[in-house]
């Protein structure tokens, strides 16, 4: 199952309830269903409380969860699965999660500890900050989206590379709203909080936004506003530049990572998202609008204009986009991870050359 940004905008209990709902309403979906992401999310919920358990008790809890997911995989492997067995497993998993120590207390305690730990690493190792939407995950070296909450809707992507990066995921934020104090995912407020309480003065900060704007909003707004898509891009870039310049004025060394090429048309992942969105199980605002070639054409325009504006303001612009598309503006899928939306971690060696060229590393 492809979750994109969803797992980290709902609780684990809510996720299990959604899976129970899917089991009830659309049992046919369960044949061949991939339970990996759901299992990872539940195990992450347990892992966030690991320090609260004796080692043996923690191991037993993890084993119980894995036993249930083995049953779920066994059911999904059948041509016609037993939805009652699936429901029973999910209800048991919900009970296990519900029995965990008080979520608010444990979460607050552990997130505060994680916040201070990551801040110490940042200050001690003088790491470069990468902040933005889920595409920051690429810089951490994780092939799948891997987020650890550190409080106030901010996640860190645990760094498994040798690069000195601190990757901060602030939600599925839009470049258009990055300067808006009242935006849906509070990007601007989160950045101000981080600048005041987390980020070292004078640090390198690479901002990573814009892919969601182009994927889901540019061509929708083009039709709604009856304006050229270039105008829509220009408006987004204007807001984005206001934010980048403000960040630079605070004494940080600011870099900008351009939006990557768009996900291909008509993938099974995209079709599943559309089906889930139609049932209210996925955020409609993240669904692709426009064709792959149209979105990539807009991305090429966006990156070119953004690069020019960054140069005018002595902000370093970096991008891998041109290496990802062919002459017909089709995306080279070898660059993409399994979700067909984010960069494959193996591409980090290609990005490394860009980062070195621009003295980001």
> pLDDT, tens digit, for every residue of 284-335?
788 899 999 999 999 999 999 999 999 999 999 999 999 999 999 999 999 9
- Check whether residue 349 and residue 294 sit in a common domain: yes
- Check whether residue 216 and residue 230 sit in a common domain: yes
- Check whether residue 39 and residue 135 sit in a common domain: no
Of the residues 101, 127, 152, which one is the last residue of a structural domain?
101
Query: What pLDDT band is residue 2 in, cutting at 50, 70 and 90?
Result: very low
The answer to the question of residue 312 being in a domain is yes
Helix (H) or strand (E) holding 253: strand 253-257
Poorest-confidence range of 35-44, 190-199, 254-263, 348-357? 35-44
- Check whether residue 148 and residue 36 sit in a common domain: no
195-197-202-203 Cα dihedral, nearest 10 degrees: -90
The answer to the question of residue 341 being in a domain is yes
Helix (H) or strand (E) holding 155: strand 154-157
Are 210 and 262 spatial neighbours (Cβ–Cβ below 8 Å)? Answer: no
pLDDT at 103: 56
- Check whether residue 242 and residue 346 sit in a common domain: yes
CA distances (Å), origin 230, targets 226, 236, 313, 317: 12, 10, 21, 20
Rg of the chain over Cα atoms, rounded to whole angstroms, equals 21
Q: Distance between CA atoms of 103 and 14, rounded to whole angstroms?
A: 14
pLDDT at 3: 35
Q: What's the N-to-C CA distance of the chain in angstroms?
A: 35
Domain enclosing residue 57, as ranges: 6-101
The answer to the question of residue 18 being in a domain is yes
> pLDDT, tens digit, for every residue of 128-186?
999 999 999 999 999 999 999 999 999 999 999 999 999 999 999 999 999 999 999 99
The answer to the question of residue 1 being in a domain is no
- Check whether residue 75 and residue 23 sit in a common domain: yes
Residue among 302, 291, 303, 279 at smallest CA distance from 331: 291
CA distances (Å), origin 256, targets 118, 204, 319: 22, 11, 8
The total number of structural domains in the chain stands at 2
- Check whether residue 236 and residue 343 sit in a common domain: yes
Assign residue 126 the CATH number of its domain: 3.40.50.1110
Q: Distance between CA atoms of 144 and 147, rounded to whole angstroms?
A: 9
Three-class DSSP category at 164: coil
């Amino acid at each position: 199952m492809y979750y994109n940004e969803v797992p980290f905008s709902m609780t684990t209990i809510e996720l299990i309830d959604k899976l129970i709902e899917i089991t009830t309403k659309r049992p046919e979906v369960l044949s061949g269903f991939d339970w990996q992401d759901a299992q990872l999310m539940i195990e992450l919920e347990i892992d966030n409380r690991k320090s609260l358990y004796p080692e043996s008790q923690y191991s037993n809890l993890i084993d119980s969860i894995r036993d249930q997911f083995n049953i779920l995989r066994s059911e999904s492997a059948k041509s016609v699965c037993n939805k009652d067995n699936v429901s029973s497993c999910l209800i048991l998993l919900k009970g296990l999660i519900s029995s965990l120590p008080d979520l608010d207390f444990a979460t607050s305690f552990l997130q505060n500890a994680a916040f201070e730990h990551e801040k110490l690493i940042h200050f001690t190792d003088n790491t470069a900050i990468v902040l933005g939407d889920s595409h920051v995950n690429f810089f951490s070296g994780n092939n799948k989206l891997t987020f650890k909450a550190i409080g106030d809707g901010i996640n860190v992507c645990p760094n498994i590379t040798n690069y000195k990066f601190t990757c901060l995921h602030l939600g599925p934020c839009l470049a258009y709203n990055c300067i808006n104090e009242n935006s849906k995912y509070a990007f601007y407020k989160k950045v101000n909080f981080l600048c005041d309480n987390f980020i070292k003065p004078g640090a390198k900060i690479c901002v990573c936004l814009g892919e969601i704007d182009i994927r889901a909003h540019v061509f929708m707004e083009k039709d709604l506003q009856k304006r050229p898509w270039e105008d829509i891009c220009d408006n987004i870039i204007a807001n984005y530049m206001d934010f980048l310049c403000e960040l630079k004025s605070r004494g940080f060394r600011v870099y900008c990572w351009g939006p990557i090429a768009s996900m291909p048309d008509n993938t099974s992942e995209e079709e599943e998202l559309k089906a889930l969105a139609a049932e209210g199980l996925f955020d409609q605002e993240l669904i692709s609008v426009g064709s792959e070639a149209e979105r990539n054409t807009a991305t090429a325009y966006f990156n070119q204009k953004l690069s020019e504006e960054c140069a005018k303001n002595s902000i370093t612009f970096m991008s891998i986009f041109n290496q990802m598309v062919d002459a017909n503006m089709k995306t080279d899928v070898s660059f993409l991870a399994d979700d067909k939306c984010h960069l494959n971690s193996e591409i980090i060696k290609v990005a490394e050359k860009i980062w070195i060229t621009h003295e980001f590393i």
